[in-house]
Structure 1
Amino acid sequence: MSRWNYRRWAMWAATAATAGSMVGVLGSVSGASTGSAPSTDAVTPTPSATDTVEPTPSATPTPSTTPQPTESAAPAPAVAPQPVESTSAADASTAMPKGDVTSNGRTWKQSYAEDFDTDAPVGSFLSTYRQMGVYEGHSDTSGRGLYAPDKVLSASDGVLDMHLHSENGQPLVATILPDGWAPHDTARVSIRYKTTDTEGYKFVGMLWPSSDNWNEGEIDWPEAGLGGVPRPASAIPGSMSNGTMTFKPDDEQFTTSDSSEYHVATTEWDHGEVRFYWDGALVASTTEAVPQSDMRVTLQGETALSGDVPADADGHVSIDWISIWD
């Protein structure tokens, strides 16, 4: 069984077996939750200000000089027709995008934004960021890590920290659902993040079926071992056969840099196409593996699917901000 197929089978099995133990801490979100009562807090997106450039007055010609016509600048050549992410979201900058975004001919409406400006020490993250959901108390995809958000998650200086480590020989990991268990029928998701270079652990951003039926599809971006070079993938809905799914693109396509420094990863799950961006540059896209069912946003810091998890491995996933559009 390939590492793809094993990983998905393990995730499906773990999710199906332990769906009742997933805890959602919800705010103003839609969708089912098995966790505590939802909060009424809501995130109100703030539109970005638009700068206005004032024209510079042209100089008045002197009487002794015959005014000459000014040559107009030649128009810039049209961009070749290809998917290009709008720069209006400032996704490659350090600032969290706020407000709606126009990209690939569509205006995406911002539904969620979080830049972690409230500190939350270990053990208090869930009570501070009540809108988020988590997985808790069961094994991760490989079966070796234990979801333990109260021992892994914290926030300080505007950054969410996932501290992946072991206690008494047990690797501790975390998965967050930024906007709770909210269902999306399409979505645009951006995160600015970095990781340490740590053996035995990995990080993946996902769109996962709200029904927990893996055969409805799966979108993975970004995904890599901590400190590794990410690559995207999306499963073809209805392609499950003998406990496996078929993923696209056929040839794995990687970014030009690793995750050891801050980068912005953006997924556009559109009608008829899924696109994957790294600092605003298109890495890959697919029209074959496009989910047709509701999905939820998850960010998973977990044990690697293969290899050792050293007992002294101490890894961190640092997330500067998260933005979601519908």
Structure 2
Amino acid sequence: MPTTLPVGDVTSNGRTWRQSYAEDFTKPAALGTVASVYPGMGLYDGFQDTSGLGTYAPAKVLSVADGNLDFDFHSEDGRPLVAAVMPDGYAPHTTARVSIRYKTTVTDGYKFVGMLWPSSDEWNDGEIDWPESLTLGASPRPASAIPGTYANRHVKYDRSVQVHAKTDTTEYHVATTEWDTGIVRFYWDGELVSCTTEAVPTKPMRVTLQGETWTDHGAVPTDASGTVSVDWISIWN
């Protein structure tokens, strides 16, 4: 797999994917300046994350240095601080190929997921998660929600795709999601991990890199701090 940012169109599984976005994070940005240095990115700010334990605070979490977008998770005044980034803003995609090269520390209390989330913000339209580590440093696995299954504040997932990658996230790896018509494929360092023809969105989705507190594991250790470093991201349509 490439260690440098892929630039240009890609042919995969009989389709030519047209590159719509590529970011190598070559412009340094100190804490509190990422929004101004990278004005095209969208950021969650000021509200609670999925578990309700953390608060999205990009100005205190995000920075860019040494060619990496860094998420520095930590607590202030007893409140865990996290961040979520939409690299190409809220651009809607109806199919997409997304690759990121990244690594993480080993840290209890926090997690990271690359996701395609409904532009409508209606969970019933589906959700694609890859890569997703349920705690920082663990081996990631994909997840994909079946559109139209939302009920009682939950959706159904195609459990067959939830196969863990062969390695953890403590060294750089490339995760690629390929959301095509009728199928979603998940790759780790160029090797197919799993795919689904059941849990495939048909409505517009946006690309999101979401760091947040873990779910279903209880309180976040108050002294926990960890980092996700994203070397680059490329998006094709």
TM-score higher than 0.5 here? Answer: yes
- CA shift for structure 1 position 157: 1.1
Instruction: Name which of 10, 15, 18 aligns with 1:109.
Output: 18
SS in structure 1 opposite 2:160? coil
Q: Which residue of 2 aligns with 1:56?
A: none
- CA shift for structure 1 position 125: 0.7
Instruction: Give the residue type in structure 2 aligned to 1:240.
Output: Y
Residue 120, structure 1, aligned to residue 29, structure 2: yes
Runs of 4+ in 1 over 2 A off after TM superposition: 249-252
- CA shift for structure 1 position 140: 0.3
Instruction: Name which of 101, 108, 112 aligns with 1:199.
Output: 108
Q: For the Cα contact (< 8 Å) 1:210–1:294, is it kept in 2?
A: yes
Instruction: Name which of 219, 222, 225 aligns with 1:308.
Output: 219
Identity of aligned residues (%): 65
Instruction: Give the residue type in structure 2 aligned to 1:98.
Output: V
If you compute each CA radius of gyration, which structure gives the higher value, 1 or 2? 1
TM-score, normalised to structure 1, is 0.71
Q: For the Cα contact (< 8 Å) 1:267–1:276, is it kept in 2?
A: yes
Residue 299, structure 1, aligned to residue 204, structure 2: no
- CA shift for structure 1 position 252: 2.7
Range with bigger deviation, 165-174 or 236-245:
236-245
| Distance in 2 separating the partners of 1:302 and 1:268 | 24
| Distance in 1 separating the partners of 2:82 and 2:161 | 30
Residue 188, structure 1, aligned to residue 116, structure 2: no
Q: Which residue of 2 aligns with 1:255?
A: 165
Q: For the Cα contact (< 8 Å) 1:249–1:286, is it kept in 2?
A: no
- CA shift for structure 1 position 239: 1.1
- CA shift for structure 1 position 240: 1.4
Q: For the Cα contact (< 8 Å) 2:102–2:231, is it kept in 1?
A: yes
Instruction: Give the residue type in structure 1 aligned to 2:139.
Output: V
Q: For the Cα contact (< 8 Å) 1:264–1:278, is it kept in 2?
A: yes
Gaps of 5+ in 1: 1-91
Instruction: Give the residue type in structure 2 aligned to 1:145.
Output: G
Q: For the Cα contact (< 8 Å) 1:276–1:284, is it kept in 2?
A: yes
Instruction: Name which of 45, 55, 61 aligns with 1:152.
Output: 61
| Distance in 2 separating the partners of 1:308 and 1:204 | 19
Distance 1:164 1:203, change over 3 A: same
Residue 142, structure 1, aligned to residue 57, structure 2: no
| Distance in 2 separating the partners of 1:114 and 1:242 | 38
Instruction: Give the residue type in structure 1 aligned to 2:100.
Output: I
Instruction: Give the residue type in structure 1 aligned to 2:150.
Output: M
Residue 217, structure 1, aligned to residue 102, structure 2: no
Report matched runs for 1:80-95 at 5 Å: 92-95=1-4
Q: For the Cα contact (< 8 Å) 2:144–2:161, is it kept in 1?
A: no
| Distance in 2 separating the partners of 1:216 and 1:159 | 32
Report matched runs for 1:212-291 at 5 Å: 212-224=121-133, 225-250=135-160, 252-291=162-201
Distance 1:237 1:166, change over 3 A: same
Q: For the Cα contact (< 8 Å) 2:161–2:194, is it kept in 1?
A: no
Gaps of 5+ in 2: none
Q: Which residue of 2 aligns with 1:317?
A: 228
Instruction: Give the residue type in structure 2 aligned to 1:270.
Output: D
Q: Which residue of 2 aligns with 1:44?
A: none
Q: Which residue of 2 aligns with 1:98?
A: 7
TM-score, normalised to structure 2, is 0.98
Q: For the Cα contact (< 8 Å) 2:143–2:161, is it kept in 1?
A: no
How many residue pairs were aligned? 235
RMSD over aligned CA atoms reads 0.8
Instruction: Give the residue type in structure 2 aligned to 1:190.
Output: S
Distance 1:251 1:324, change over 3 A: closer
- CA shift for structure 1 position 164: 0.4
